[in-house]
Structure 1
Amino acid sequence: MATTSERILKLLSLLASRREWSGDELAARAGVSTRTIRRDIEALRELGYPVLTTKGPDGGYRLGAGTTLPPLMFDDDQAVAVALALQTAPATVFGLSDAAARALETIQQVMPARLRAEIDALRITRLRNWWEFAAPPIDAGALKAVGNAVRKGHLLLFDYLRPDGTRPEPRDADFVPPLRVEPHHLVLWAGRWYLVAYEPASGSWPIYRVDRIHAHTPTGRPFTRRDLPGGSVANHVMNSYDRGDTRPDWQCVGTARMDLPPEIVARWAPGGSVVEYVGPAQARITLGAWSWAGIAGILATFDADIDVIEPAELRDACRALARRLSKA
């Protein structure tokens, strides 16, 4: 009986981890015959789990959704993976740190003693590394509004806030009417949330920082999805120099003009740096660090000529770095 129960729990875990399984695949993973799998499937159905049979040459099974679905079950590896993920997840959204801690406590309460001991042995103390160019957490409501519009394929109407989080008024010189876009992809890169969208008014594919989006009431208006030029969301985001990034919040912030194409600088610049287009083979980069020498060191990693360096403290740091390297 104990062996059967363990096998059924493992079967339930497999069904929950993938949309569809064939009977042969389940049998191979469980190390039993397909006939035994069919009996275990019936046992799960009797327990209230809506396991659906799919049609096809070989047939298959999938776990259906419904209000009667009993609590989810994790196998040992999944439970450990979830516990570690909850401890190491970056806090990029307001209010989720406490929720993650409570979720970890909830999972631990229902773990068997041996798994609790394993998780306790993996308790992690997170320390900040100064090379983590962190972004301020964003509002969960904005993330939800954007994510829902992307998932449902509905037009998104929003105000795009200033870098400081304020909303321009109609009388302000930088006022922009609410934007109406076709949201296509929600992207997390370098600790920052971006929306890739098509803007019908300009016929372009801009990238917006989600922390600067103030969404209006959902439009509920569907649109026909378009193909992103180039096809790769990753390349589009990483190679775009205009991502709505804002001046970094560091004790030292400097700017330099660099003899490299803007898309190259944007791809390899630290998260949160501001890259501006100067020409096809030139870009202006604004970045921050804990010291002027830190910024000079980052600029040196690009292996490109630089000039128009501001402020004077950064120029001095670049000269000091050059002297040290010349002595090496």
Structure 2
Amino acid sequence: METTATVGYRLLFRHAPAALLVLDPHLTIVEASDAYLAATMCTRDGLIGRGVFEAFPVNPDDPESSGIAALDASLRRVLREHTTDVMAIHQYDIPRVGGGFDRRFWAPVNEPVCDEDGQLRWIVHRVDDVTAYVESRPDGLRFAQLAEQVRTSNARAEAEVFAHQRLHQEHQVLQALLDSLDAAVVGCGHDGRVVLANDAARDLLGPQITVPPTEWGPVLHLHHPDGRPIGPGELPLVRALHGERVLDLVMPGLNGLDVCRALRADPATADVPILMLSAYAMPADLQAGLDAGADDYMMKPFHSDELIARCTALIK
């Protein structure tokens, strides 16, 4: 009885009842099954050690064919994402023995093979020759083109669903983060409509939270520190919605660094976590923000995941 150590895997692979080609991460051919050699009219010695696009070049009589571009895009995706890529039926002509090219239609699948550390070692390229099926149909070429259109449409729909799910997850994380704060936080869209509010804001404003911020001054009876009522256009949030930079590190007068120092000097706010966001990315700018009392300093642009992670770390 043979053990795993004595099984001839190369022999098994070569006799597999499927057309299989093995590529290394440089897209160089390292092995091929007998079924693949038969399907492509090639010899093993003529393939091994050559780049896949060197061994199967573009048909000069059909330079506009998308076969090479489609295969290259699929293989690059497998290299990049370490995921199986099922390609649509497409035309990819192969060199004919003695010269010229044979028109062929294929249904390929590209599968990554990774080691225990997750490093991609090979790509197994499997093809099914569907030329006879496609050419037996009166609309054979149109069928292949339609298959590619359907695949592209499905991929776009899947990407949109994934993006929507990711956005929903990020919103849930942000909402949980804001709800953990004692301070009231309200976010508005460009039209002034409240689109985000935490528990503290809902407790503070109650049903009035649905009122547009432009009306908060008189409706909520808000006043300046000197006792004057806050007018409709004087609320900082409203001014920000109108494009005014209400508070920034580079504003004249009281800027972000000054506010940070003032918060740290006031016993009531001395322990409030402060995260500065700025487009200034020099080491001196970072140092100035931290010296002013900021707990963290993020340089623009940044990803929302990083912002959420840093905020979460600050309030733990």
Instruction: Judge same fold: TM > 0.5, yes or no.
Output: no
TM-score (normalised: structure 2): 0.21
Q: Of the two, which has the highest radius of gyration?
A: 2
Q: Which has the higher contact order (CA 8 A, sep 6+)?
A: 1
Q: Which has the higher helix share?
A: 2
